[in-house]
Amino acid sequence: MIDKKLKLQDTLDIYISEQKDGKVIITFSRMTTRERKEIVTQPFVAKFLASLDGERTAGEILKGLGDFSKEQASILLNFLKDEHFIYEAHEAPEDPRYLRQIAYFEDMILSHSGMESQRLLQQKHIAIIGCGAVTGAMVEILARAGVEKFTLVDAKKVRYSDLVRHLFCRLDDIGKYKIDILSDYLKRINNRIKTALFYDELNPNTDLNKYIGTDVDLVINGCDEPYLGHTSLKIGRFLQTKNIALYVMGGFDAHLMSSGELIIPPKTPCIDCCQQTFQKALTDWKPTYTQVEKPEQLVEYNNHNYTINKMNHFDIGGSGGLSVMSLFSANLSCMRIIQFLAGDDRLDYKTERYEYLINKGIMTSFEMVKQRAFCKVCNE
């Protein structure tokens, strides 16, 4: 380390206070996590830290500060490196696009450097089945984070009512395939992005090998028709045999401000265990039904009146909500997904669903558990 050119992390604040005995207290504070660490040392250590400009080696700087043994230098530099307070100047990326994100990874993912976290993220391939409001926002977040390869599966076209929450859609996109619009949108964010497009509906007989190859690292299921639970079972069971991670989208229907579940075979509960956890928790719950007079007229109106000029168009069965709700769910979900994709060794493999109750201003959590008595997969 003593022969290397070093710099302080950009996300680090350093405070120095003098002691009566001539020593100083140096406080290291991470801006991203608010974590703090203090050391009591000699004043020349503070001068050394202030001199880390990436232009001179640590040895050259220390030599200019007076007598300093190699043993002392080794102890100091190893401490700074182990705490992720410094990095080698040559590690700075040539492309400044991800500089701030790399600095964030340096503080949050301690198992490897921020550069390595970013490199891992950019190598990932994500498949999205069902490209709607929440998954569309998730894909955008992941693309901005650096993911460069996506498979998009959706047979639907953009409708006028989609403009409320589908942030990648515009007026001119009405009548066009969602995945065409989303693909072009992603490539305007990063022209290095590659997309594979499938204009398909998911049904019980769909061969998932068509979309999900061995190079896919994560599948996000946003296909909530006929029901997200049913489609997730089909996809999750397929992925379990291939050890590919699944994220079941949150933020739909009655849960517009919720995360989803990250299922990582064989670390977390499998999709069947997640479904069983839900069923047990909802044993005593009963739905409330609303009667609609002349539903056939409602269906006919909805099927024939969804052009831009029909301002009264609405979705049958579609839940009302704001785009901010979709964004909340997407951002909440992607924090966990990015931690997984960037290879954080501290990932706890807990499968939890979070939901923000907007009327109460509180966040709730619900943990999925392995149903070992029921599940052959998780009982092994």
Q: How far apart (Å, rounded) are the C-alpha atoms in residues 190 and 166?
A: 19
Strand partners, 197: 152
Q: Where are the domains of the chain?
A: 5-95, 123-367
Please state the φ and ψ torsions of residue 134, each to the nearest 5 degrees. Answer: -75, -50
Instruction: Supply the pLDDT for residue 307.
Output: 47
Give CA separation, 44 vs 12, 56, 78, 101, in Å. Answer: 19, 17, 17, 32
To the question of domain 5-95 being in CATH 3.40.50.1460, the answer is: no
**One-letter identity of residue 186:** L
Domain 5-95 matches domain 123-367 at the CATH topology level? no
Class of domain 123-367 as given by CATH: alpha beta
How far is it, in rounded angstroms, from Cα 297 to Cα 78? Answer: 74
SS (H, E, C) the chain: CCCCEEEECCCEEEEEEECCCCCEEEEEEECCCCCEEEEEECHHHHHHHHCCEEEEEHHHHHHHCCCCCHHHHHHHHHHHHHCCCEEEHHHCCCCHHHHHHHHHHHHHCCCCCHHHHHHHHHCCEEEEECCCHHHHHHHHHHHHHCCCEEEEECCCECCHHHHHCCCCCCHHHCCCEHHHHHHHHHHHHCCCCEEEEECCCCCCCCCHHHCCCCCCCEEEECCCCCCHHHHHHHHHHHHHCCCCEEEECCCCCCCCCECCEEECCCCCCCHHHHHHHHHHHCCCCCCCCCCCCCHHHHHHHHHHCCCCCCCCCCCCCCCCCCHHHHHHHHHHHHHHHHHHHCCCCCCCCCCEEEEEECCCCEEEEEECCCCCCCCCCCCC
Per-residue pLDDT of the chain (380 residues; tens, 9 = 90+): 788 899 898 889 999 999 888 899 999 998 888 889 999 998 888 989 999 988 888 888 888 877 677 788 888 899 998 888 988 877 666 678 998 898 889 888 888 888 899 999 999 999 999 999 999 999 999 999 999 999 999 999 999 989 999 999 999 999 999 999 999 999 999 999 999 999 999 998 999 999 999 999 999 999 987 778 889 999 999 999 999 999 999 988 778 899 999 999 999 999 999 988 888 887 887 777 777 777 777 677 666 655 444 444 555 555 678 999 999 999 999 999 999 999 999 999 999 999 999 989 999 999 999 888 888 788 76
